[in-house]
Amino acid sequence: MEENDFLRKLIQQSPLDSPSDDFVDRVMINLKPAQEQVGVKKSFFLYVKAVLPYALLTLLFAVVYATSDLPILNWLPGVEYLQNSLFPYLGSLLAELKNAFASKYVSFGFLIGISAGLLFLIDRFFSRRSTIQ
């Protein structure tokens, strides 16, 4: 109890600190208003960049899973299916695509499309805007 009495006497004897009369005005003058931050819509490429690693891992897992000849996966077609059915089909598909691109009109259209796509991507790369204006 003696400690409480001592503290009570000490508090009563010491004057309270109070700020000067113009303290609030001086503080408010020095405060600057915060700049408003306007968010910009995220680019499609940011979403692609975020999803791409997961898509590649899923694709890798699917390829390994589909081509494995593990006993537990007997119900899946394995390497034999790829060699006997899928590779010949892909070979004939690529041969037909080669015939389609043998035409100079298709080749020029394809080259123009690739050039336009590259120019678009280069323009997007060099004209990026910051996300906070």
Report pLDDT digits (tens) over 30-81: 887 777 777 777 777 888 888 888 999 999 888 777 676 666 665 656 667 7
Q: Write down the pTM of the prediction.
A: 0.29
Using the predicted structure, report yes or no on whether residue 5 has a pLDDT greater than 90: no
- Cross-strand pairs, 132: 39
Nearest to 129 by CA among 30, 62, 40: 40
Q: What was the pLDDT predicted at 132?
A: 53
- DSSP label of 25: H
Six-digit token string for 95:
């041969």
**Does an H or E element contain 94, and which?**
helix 87-100
